[in-house]
Amino acid sequence: MDLNDWILALHLLSAFALVGALTLFSILIVALWRADEPAKIDAFMRMGRIGNVLVIAGVLGTVLFGVWLAISVDGYAVWDGWVIAAIALWAVGSELGRRAGVAYGAAGARAHEAIAAGANEPSPELAATFGPSPALRFHIGSSIAVLLVLIDMIWKPGA
Amino acid sequence: MSALASIRPDSWNFPLLVHVLGAMILVGTTITFVVAELAAAGTPQPERMRRFAFRTLLFVGLPALIIMRVGAQWLYSKEFDGASGDDPSWIGVGYGVSDLGGLLFLISLVLAGFASRKARSGLGRAAGVTAAICLVGWVVAVWAMGAKPS
């Protein structure tokens, strides 16, 4: 095994962390679908912290080790079309994921504040966020972008 | 570098996508399950969290495990015809971890099912720890699939 084999393994582990985090977030979104009870939202959103750690490791690791491989491996270059497409999709997916995280995180914080204040009344505002909201569209867009990156990585069109 | 330099026939790509995507969703689902089971006791309604954990593993994790395993077998049938009998060691690591991990996964699923039905926190924790052991094995398998040690 040489250095590039290790970098490839770390690139792959980063991709698993990223898709693993997206899977975790997707499961939480389904579990909290139209949820309006702050206690339930607060309990489930705490699990999202693990997802946040994974998504940061995945987003940074995939691009760092991916670009390193594109520079280091003979036959590949950063300016190859499929590499540029992957980086562009990675950027789009990261930004959409960040926006989803901000929206869901704000709702989670509101639920936490309500619980801390001793209130657990149903909140239509929370139910709207955890339904078909812009946050959901951002999450779906981010997931599609990451899926396209995976397809691009496997097929490597033009390589 | 042999793994990176090798050219993969196009016919392997779709089975590889099935295998990798199934494995990624399996890992994400198992992480969700482990966190939910181990954190359940600290939540206001632990039974709800254990029920969520069990359903996650049953309805998302189990299909992902099957998809990952079917993808692996499909890819293996294309990449190795099995006639030579001298598969590289990373294949052995992959199959070993996959089979043992699959067994531990099923044990974890059964434990989680009982924990959910009987409201037993000890069983829930045992299910979470068993699945966490699976996760460690799968991380090693992912490393082996990527680095492909000879």
Q: In whole angstroms, what is the distance from residue A113 CA to residue A42 CA?
A: 9
State the sign of the Cα–Cα–Cα–Cα dihedral B26, A24, B20, B1: negative
Confidence (pLDDT) at B144: 87
Chain A CB within 8 Å of residue B150 CB:
yes
Q: Say if the Cβ atoms of B45 and A40 lie within 8 Å.
A: yes
Q: Say if the Cβ atoms of B1 and A75 lie within 8 Å.
A: no
Confidence (pLDDT) at B96: 87
What share of chain B in percent tops pLDDT 90?
63
Is residue B5 predicted with pLDDT exceeding 50?
Answer: no
Number of H helices, E strands in chain B: 6, 0
For residues B97-109, give the mean pLDDT: 93
Return mean pLDDT, chain B. 88
Max CA separation in chain A (angstroms): 61
**Shortest Cα–Cα distance, B125 to chain A (Å):** 16
Q: Considering only CB atoms, which chain B residues are within 8 Å of A154? A: 13, 16-17, 20
Of A1, A12, A46, the CB nearest to B142: A12
Confidence (pLDDT) at B51: 95
**Shortest Cα–Cα distance, B84 to chain A (Å):** 23
DSSP-derived secondary structure for B29-49? HHHHHHHHHHHGGGSS-HHHH
Confidence (pLDDT) at A154: 94
Search chain B and give the residue with CA nearest A42.
B43
For residues B112-124, give the mean pLDDT: 89
Q: Which structure tokens are listed for A98?
A: 């960040």
For residues B112-129, give the mean pLDDT: 91
B76 backbone dihedrals φ, ψ, rounded to 5° = -60, -40
**Shortest Cα–Cα distance, A5 to chain B (Å):** 5
Chain A CB within 8 Å of residue B135 CB:
no
Q: Say if the Cβ atoms of A13 and B146 lie within 8 Å.
A: yes
Q: Which of B20, B36, B147, B137 is nearest to A11 (CA)?
A: B147
- Among the residue ranges A13-27, B20-34, B82-96, B136-150, the one predicted with the least confidence is B82-96
Confidence of residue B81 (pLDDT cuts 50, 70, 90): low
Q: In whole angstroms, what is the distance from residue B149 CA to residue A9 CA?
A: 10
Confidence (pLDDT) at B82: 58
Confidence (pLDDT) at B2: 42
Of A10, A24, A43, the CB nearest to B28: A24
Chain B CB within 8 Å of residue A151 CB:
yes
What share of chain A in percent tops pLDDT 70?
100
The string of pLDDT tens digits covering residues A65-80 is: 999 999 999 889 999 9
ipTM: 0.93
Return mean pLDDT, chain A. 95
Residues A100/A135, Cβ–Cβ less than 8 Å: yes
Q: Say if the Cβ atoms of A43 and B44 lie within 8 Å.
A: yes
**Side-chain half-sphere of A109: how many Cα atoms within 13 Å?**
6
The string of pLDDT tens digits covering residues A8-59 is: 999 999 999 999 999 999 999 999 999 999 999 999 999 999 999 999 999 9
Q: In whole angstroms, what is the distance from residue B73 CA to residue B91 CA?
A: 11
Q: Say if the Cβ atoms of A23 and B20 lie within 8 Å.
A: no
Q: Which residues contact A88 (CB under 8 A, 6 or more apart)?
A: none
Is residue A60 predicted with pLDDT exceeding 60?
Answer: yes
Q: Which of B50, B48, B20, B46 is nearest to B33 (CA)?
A: B50
Token pair 């499909």 is found at B74
Is residue B6 predicted with pLDDT exceeding 60?
Answer: no
Interface test with B, best of A26, A27, A37 (most B CBs within 10 A): A27
For residues B32-43, give the mean pLDDT: 93
The string of pLDDT tens digits covering residues A83-124 is: 999 999 999 999 999 999 999 999 999 999 999 999 889 999
Q: Which residues contact B140 (CB under 8 A, 6 or more apart)?
A: B93, B97
For the CA atoms of A96, A99, A103, A104, the dihedral, rounded to the nearest 10 degrees, stands at: 50
